[in-house]
Amino acid sequence: MYRINSINKLLSDFDNVGIIASSLCMIHCIGTPFLFIAKACSTSCCSEAPIWWQLIDYLFLIISFIAIYFVTKNTIPNWIKISFWITWFTLLLTILNHTFPIVEAPKYITYIPASAVIILHFYNLKFCKCREESCCTNIK
């Protein structure tokens, strides 16, 4: 029983890290235009975000990857695993496209996979609760 509770706690911790990282990423993305519009209005140069600000996107992406890796490593339903990785990969592509414009896409498109990651973490947090020893471990 102690092992089951520790697995639940560990999964909850990674889901919480994922929720926090994805939420902070969205706040960062939503706040960026307002921050740099105000800066552009006060000075006449450099209306683009500085490199260090853009690198924050990748920091959140790395944290999100780690959280998703450990959550999917310890969850059974394949559709949750697949959904996590598809949304993370989509988030990666939208952030890369934002940094290095390849395909013309609206800037707000990044909010869709970021929101999906948050929703998946909440879903996993609520519904992946172990009742028995092997419920949240990989079965080979």
Domain boundaries along the sequence of the chain: 2-127
With cut-offs at 50, 70 and 90, classify the pLDDT of residue 140. Answer: very low
User: What percentage of the chain reaches a pLDDT higher than 70?
Assistant: 65
- Global confidence as pTM: 0.65
As a 3-state breakdown, the chain gives helix, strand, coil percent values, each rounded to 5, of 75, 0, 25
pLDDT, residue 139, reads 39
> Which pLDDT band holds residue 42 (cuts at 50, 70, 90)?
very low
3-state secondary structure of 139: coil
Give the Cα separation of 72 and 85 in Å (integer): 9
